[in-house]
């Protein structure tokens, strides 16, 4: 009888490894990383600039100039259009000529937000075309203003 | 005998697996966390519908431009002339650097355009205009 009890106790001691505190420590670390992680990632409109000194000559036929003036008005080609129509206009012009490069020419005194607004709409129109043809390349050029 | 077995069953809660689960979560958060290195300037970003996430988080260099047209790189107030040497150094360290321009929506485009010219000179050609998501 006495022997059997001793055996039982011996078994128990060997089987138990104290892992209860481990969870606490790891929880603490987890909470630290949870708090410090910023879940709002960097977002934005990506562009690739042309290398310096390399000016690509294009025929006028293949350029669509979009002007943004200091008042935030939009001029496509030679017509002033409301900004709501920019996407449709650009999309229509690209459909007519798939080689078209959109050149965004912004006035030095224009507000940054109006430039972003125009760029956003141009990007969306390219994206619509990309949906139809994934090989379609985005061709947007940011013109260097005269300072 | 019956009473003993009942007691044993109720006294043990399996906590061994909790550590594993939490470890897994911990490893996930450790790998995802990128510590904010710089404070930057207080800016009101413009909103855009075509906003996309930047995938390569660790390659980003931020440049802030506030409404008063101040330029700030890595918590240093800089002139336009200082931008090129700073960026050149960064491009040597990591040629795949993406420059995220965090400009205030009220700032003048002229400042941004000048900055873009300086970035071109430094060969930092991958830029990103930081925006908020517009629905």
Residues of A in contact with B15 (CB under 8 A): 19-20, 23
**B 25-84: CB under 8 A from A:** 25-26, 29-30, 32-36, 46, 48-54, 57, 60, 65
Q: Is residue B106 part of a domain?
A: yes
Which residue has better confidence, B132 or A77? B132
Give the domain extent around A117. Answer: 60-142
Assigned domain for A31 exists: no
Nearest Cα to A68, choosing from A105, A120, A113? A105
The tens digit of pLDDT for each residue in B29-79 reads 888 887 777 778 888 888 888 888 888 777 888 899 988 888 999 888 888
Asked whether residue B41 is assigned to any structural domain, the reply reads no
Nearest chain B CA: its distance from A60 CA (Å): 23
Give the predicted TM-score (pTM) of the model: 0.75
**Domain-located, residue A68:** yes
| pLDDT at A15 exceeding the cut of 60 | yes
pLDDT surpassing 80 at residue B125: yes
Q: Does B106 touch chain A (CB under 8 A)?
A: yes
Instruction: Confirm whether B100 is domain-assigned.
Output: yes
**What interhelical angle do A86-96 and A112-132 show, nearest 10?**
40
Strands in chain A per DSSP E: 43-48, 63-68, 74-76, 79-81, 101-106, 140-142
Whichever domain contains A70, its CATH number is 3.30.420.270
Q: Do residues B63 and B28 share a domain?
A: no
Domain that holds residue B26: 2-32
Instruction: Flag whether B124 is in a domain.
Output: yes
Name the domain count of chain A: 1
Q: Give the mutation candidate from B50, B59, B116 for the A interface (greatest A CB count, under 10 A).
A: B50
The answer as to whether A66 is a domain residue is yes
Residue A89 placed within a domain: yes
Residues B17 and B83 in one domain: no
Total of domains in chain B = 2
Residue A19 domain flag: no
């Amino acid at each position: 009888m006495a022997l059997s009890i001793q055996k039982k106790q011996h078994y128990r001691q060997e089987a138990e490894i104290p892992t209860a505190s481990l969870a606490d420590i790891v929880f603490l670390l987890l909470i630290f990383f949870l708090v410090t992680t910023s879940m709002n990632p960097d977002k934005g409109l990506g562009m690739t600039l042309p290398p310096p000194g390399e000016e690509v000559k294009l025929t006028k036929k293949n350029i669509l100039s979009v002007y943004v003036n200091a008042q935030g008005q939009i001029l496509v080609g030679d017509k002033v259009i409301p900004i709501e129509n920019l996407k449709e206009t650009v999309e229509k012009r690209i459909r007519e000529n798939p080689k078209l490069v959109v050149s965004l020419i912004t006035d030095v005194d224009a507000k940054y937000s109006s430039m972003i607004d125009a760029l956003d709409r141009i990007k969306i129109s390219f994206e619509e075309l990309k949906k139809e043809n994934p090989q379609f390349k985005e061709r947007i050029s940011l013109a260097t203003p005269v300072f | 005998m019956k009473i003993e077995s009942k007691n044993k069953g109720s006294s043990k809660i399996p906590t061994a697996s909790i550590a594993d689960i939490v470890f897994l979560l911990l490893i996930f958060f450790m790998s995802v966390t990128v510590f904010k290195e710089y404070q930057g300037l207080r800016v009101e970003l413009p909103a855009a519908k075509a906003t996309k996430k930047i995938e390569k988080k660790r390659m980003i260099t931020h440049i802030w431009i506030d409404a008063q047209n101040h330029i700030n790189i890595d918590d240093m107030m800089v002139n336009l002339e200082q931008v090129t040497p700073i960026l050149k150094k960064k491009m040597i360290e990591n040629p795949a650097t993406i420059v995220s321009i965090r400009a205030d929506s009220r700032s003048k485009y002229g400042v941004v355009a000048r900055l873009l010219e300086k970035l071109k000179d430094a060969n930092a050609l991958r830029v990103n205009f930081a925006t908020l998501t517009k629905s």
